[in-house]
Amino acid sequence: MSTYKINEVFESLQGEGSYTGLPSIFVRLQGCPVGCPWCDTKHTWVVSPELKTTSNAVMAETAESDSWFEQTTEQLLGLFNLHGYVAKHIVITGGEPCLYDLTEITSSLIAKGYSVQIETSGTYEIIAHPDTWVTVSPKINMPGGRLVLRSAMRRANEIKHPIAMQKHIEELDEVLTLLGDQAVPNIYLQPISQQKRATDLAIKTCIARNWRLSLQTHKFIGIE
How many residues does this entry show for the chain? 224
Task: Consult the annotation and say whether 15 binds a ligand.
Answer: yes
102 annotated as a binding-site residue: no
| 98 known ligand binder | no
28 appears as a binding residue in the annotation = yes
137 is in an annotated binding site: yes
User: 217 a known binding residue?
Assistant: no
What pLDDT, on the 0 to 100 scale, is given for residue 223?
60
CATH class held by domain 3-162: alpha beta
Q: What is the pLDDT of residue 45?
A: 95
Q: Note the pLDDT of residue 16.
A: 92
40 annotated to bind ligand: yes
Q: What is the pLDDT along the chain (224 residues), one digit of tens a residue?
A: 799 999 999 999 999 999 999 999 999 999 999 998 878 899 999 999 999 999 999 999 989 999 999 999 999 999 999 999 999 999 999 999 999 999 999 999 999 999 999 999 999 999 999 999 999 999 988 888 899 999 999 999 999 999 999 999 999 999 999 999 999 999 999 998 778 899 999 999 999 999 999 987 666 666 66
Between CA 144 and CA 152 the distance in angstroms is: 17
**93 is known to lie in a ligand binding site:** yes
Please check if 14 is assigned to a binding site.
yes
139 is in an annotated binding site: yes
39 in a known ligand binding site: yes
- 110 within 8 A of 133, measured Cβ to Cβ: no
pLDDT of residue 110: 98
This prediction has a pTM of 0.94
